[in-house]
C-alpha cells in the first residue's frame, strides 16, 4: 500500500508479472486489465516487473493497460528491475549476455521503464543481479539522482549476497533483497541473506515461492513427491490447498518474507492472499523441511 509519508509498504503478497506476457500466458490487453483489477480488488496493489521480462516487452504490455486506464496510476505500486543485458532482437546492440550497474545504464533503464509502463515514477527500483563490476559509490549517486528527480521512491536489490547487500546498503538505504526462496530453493536459510534481513529489519521478498511451478509437475523427483505428500496432508488438516501450504511455509519465517507470486490465474492469486492467514506450527514447518531435504534435522 502507498503511505502518505512516502515510505514503501509492500502488500502482503506481491504480484509477479514475468509470466503475464510473451514469457507465459500472453494475456491480451483486456484480460490483463481484468487481472490487474482483480488483484486490486484483493488488496494486492504491488506489481513486480523487470525491464527484461518478455525480452523487454512486458513493461510496455502492462503499460498499455495503464495508458488506457490512467486511474490505475494512483492505485498500483510498481517495482521494476534493471541491470541484466539480454541478447534479443529488441536490444540488437547487446552482443553478450552480461550485467550492467553503471549509472548510465541505470538512468537509461529507468527512463525506458517509465516510458513503457506509462507512469511518472517507479515505487521501487531493484538491481536485478549483482554486477561483478559494480561500484557501490557510483550506484548510490545514481540512486540519489533518481530520488531527487522524483523518478524512483525507493531502492533495493535482488539476488545479492550478504556482503554485496551490506556494501551498498551502507551508502544508500535498500528496502529489500529479492531472493529465491521456496521449499525447493533453501539457500537463503544458510547463506546469511535472511539473517541479515532480520537483523537489519529489512523485508525480504521471495521470487518463485512455488519453485516456479515445478513443485506441482516434477513428480518423478522423490523430493518433490515427498513435499507433495506432506503438503497434501497439511492442506487437509488446514482445509486449504497445496499451493497455500507451500506459501504458508515461506510466510512463516520471522523476517516477514513477502512472496512474489507468479500465477497468471486470478483464483490462484486469491488463494495466495488467503494463505497469509494460515498458521503452520513449528513441527508442521519442519515436516515440510524434512520432506524437502529427505532427512530429519541433525
Ligand X SMILES: NC(=O)c1ccc[n+]([C@@H]2O[C@H](COP(=O)([O-])OP(=O)(O)OC[C@H]3O[C@@H](n4cnc5c(N)ncnc54)[C@H](OP(=O)(O)O)[C@@H]3O)[C@@H](O)[C@H]2O)c1
Residues that bind ligand X (CB under 6 A): 16-19, 48, 128, 158-159, 178, 207-213, 216, 243, 260-265, 268
If the CB atoms of residues 137 and 217 are measured against ligand X, the closer one turns out to be 217
Using alpha carbons, select from 45, 46, 66, 71 the residue that is nearest to residue 115: 66
Alpha helices in the chain (DSSP H): 29-41, 53-56, 58-68, 103-117, 136-148, 162-169, 193-200, 214-217, 222-238, 242-251, 266-275, 282-293
Residue 148 beta carbon to ligand X: minimum distance, rounded to whole angstroms = 26
Residue 171's CB is within 10 A of a number of other CB atoms, namely 15
Query: What single DSSP character describes residue 88?
Result: S
Closer to ligand X by CB, 50 or 142: give it.
50
Compare residues 115 and 219 and give the one whose CB is closer to ligand X.
219
Query: Would you say 79 or 284 has its CB closer to ligand X?
Result: 79
Query: Which one from 53, 56, 99, 286 is the annotated catalytic residue?
Result: 53
User: Which of residues 15 and 280 has its CB atom nearest to ligand X in the complex?
Assistant: 15
Shortest CB 296 distance to ligand X, Å:
26
> How many Å from the N-terminal Cα to the C-terminal Cα in the chain?
41
CB of residue 19 vs ligand X: minimum separation in angstroms?
5
Which residue, 60 or 145, has its beta carbon nearer to ligand X?
Answer: 60
Residue 194, Cβ neighbours under 10 Å: how many? 22
Annotated active-site residue 53? The verdict is: yes
Rounded to 5°, angle at Cα 16 from 224 and 2: 135
Q: How far is the CB of 5 from ligand X (least distance, A)?
A: 26
Please report how close the Cβ of residue 13 comes to ligand X at its closest, in angstroms: 10
Q: Are 205 and 174 in contact (CB under 8 A)?
A: no
What is the rounded CA–CA span in Å between residue 136 and residue 170?
9
The residue sitting closest to ligand X, measured at its beta carbon, is: 262
Question: What gap in Å lies between CA 205 and CA 187, rounded to an integer?
Answer: 14
User: Residue 23 Cβ, how far from ligand X at the closest point, in Å?
Assistant: 9
Report residue 29 as a C-alpha cell: 490487453
Question: If you write DSSP's letter for every residue of 2-51 in order, what string do you get?
Answer: B-TTS-B---SSEEE-TTTSTTTT---HHHHHHHHHHHHHTT--EEE--T
Is the Cα torsion angle 64, 65, 66, 67 positive or negative in sign?
positive
Q: Show which residues are catalytic.
A: 53
Amino acid at each position: 500500500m502507498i503511505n502518505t509519508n512516502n515510505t514503501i509498504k509492500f502488500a502482503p503478497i506481491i504480484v509477479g508479472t514475468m509470466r503475464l506476457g510473451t514469457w507465459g500466458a500472453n494475456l491480451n490487453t483486456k484480460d490483463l486489465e481484468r487481472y490487474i483489477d482483480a488483484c486490486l480488488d484483493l488488496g494486492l496493489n504491488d506489481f513486480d516487473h523487470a525491464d527484461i521480462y518478455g525480452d523487454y516487452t512486458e513493461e510496455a504490455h502492462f503499460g498499455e493497460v495503464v495508458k488506457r486506464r490512467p486511474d490505475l496510476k494512483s492505485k498500483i505500486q510498481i517495482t521494476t528491475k534493471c541491470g541484466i543485458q539480454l541478447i534479443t532482437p529488441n536490444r540488437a546492440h547487446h552482443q553478450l549476455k552480461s550485467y550492467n550497474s553503471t549509472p548510465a545504464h541505470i538512468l537509461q533503464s529507468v527512463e525506458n521503464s517509465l516510458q513503457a509502463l506509462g507512469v511518472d515514477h517507479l515505487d521501487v527500483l531493484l538491481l536485478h543481479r549483482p554486477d561483478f563490476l559494480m561500484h557501490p559509490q557510483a550506484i548510490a549517486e545514481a540512486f540519489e539522482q533518481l530520488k531527487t528527480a522524483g523518478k524512483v521512491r525507493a531502492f533495493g536489490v535482488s539476488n545479492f549476497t550478504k556482503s554485496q547487500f551490506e556494501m551498498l546498503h551502507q551508502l544508500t538505504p535498500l528496502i529489500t533483497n529479492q531472493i529465491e526462496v521456496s521449499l525447493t530453493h533453501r539457500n537463503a536459510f544458510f547463506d546469511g541473506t535472511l539473517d541479515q534481513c532480520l537483523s537489519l529489519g529489512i523485508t525480504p521478498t521471495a521470487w518463485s515461492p512455488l519453485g516456479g511451478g515445478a513443485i506441482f509437475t516434477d513428480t518423478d523427483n522423490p523430493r518433490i513427491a515427498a513435499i507433495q505428500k506432506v503438503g497434501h496432508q497439511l492442506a487437509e488438516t488446514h482445509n486449504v490447498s497445496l499451493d497455500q501450504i507451500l506459501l504458508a511455509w515461506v510466510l512463516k519465517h520471522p523476517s516477514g518474507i513477502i512472496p512474489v507470486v507468479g500465477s497468471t490465474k486470478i483464483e490462484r492469486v486469491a488463494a495466495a492472499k488467503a494463505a497469509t492467514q494460515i498458521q503452520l506450527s513449528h513441527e508442521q514447518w519442519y515436516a515440510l523441511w524434512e520432506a524437502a531435504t529427505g532427512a530429519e534435522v541433525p
